[in-house]
Amino acid sequence: MYPAGWPSEKPRQKGVDVELATDVVKMAIAGDYEVGIIASTDGDLLPAIEAVYELRATAATPRICVVQYGDLKKRLNFRDGSGRRLFAFRLTQADYEAVRDETNYFGTSLP
């Protein structure tokens, strides 16, 4: 998160994972997406993934998938009640470059 005093104040990431987790669950309940793809290795997101899986058992809620980067072994690991792991899309450097967004959303040069 970039504070109002940026760039003299340093950016903070505090709360971003909580906001993402909340949105994943709220949007699943509202039926706002069919498949949620989470590009993170932050284990703090696992409770949100578990909540969406629990909702799937009782309603037509979306699927959740994760992204695994290139050859990295690290990824979010979650097994459903049947022991199945989350599907992981493998994202290569070429994939990343194809969807890279170079838009400057802050209107100033980044450090």
**Residue 87 falls inside a structural domain:** yes
What are the tens digits of pLDDT across the range 95-107?
Answer: 888 888 888 777 7
**Residue 110 falls inside a structural domain:** no
**Residue 20 falls inside a structural domain:** yes
Q: For all residues of the chain together, what is the average pLDDT?
A: 79
**Residue 56 falls inside a structural domain:** yes
For residue 25, what pLDDT is reported?
Answer: 92
What are the tens digits of pLDDT across the range 41-57?
Answer: 888 888 998 888 888 77
**Residue 111 falls inside a structural domain:** no
**Residue 104 falls inside a structural domain:** no
Q: Give the range of the structural domain holding residue 93, as residue numbers without chain letter.
A: 16-99
Question: The tokens of 96 are what?
Answer: 């990343």
Q: Judging by beta carbons within 10 Å of its beta carbon (0-12, 13-18, 19+), is residue 76 exposed, middle or buried? A: buried
| Distances 96 to 39, 68, 105 between C-alpha atoms, Å | 11, 12, 19
Question: The tokens of 12 are what?
Answer: 């903070």
**Residue 58 falls inside a structural domain:** yes
**Residue 39 falls inside a structural domain:** yes
How many structural domains does the chain have? Answer: 1
Count of CB atoms situated within 10 Å of the CB of 38: 20
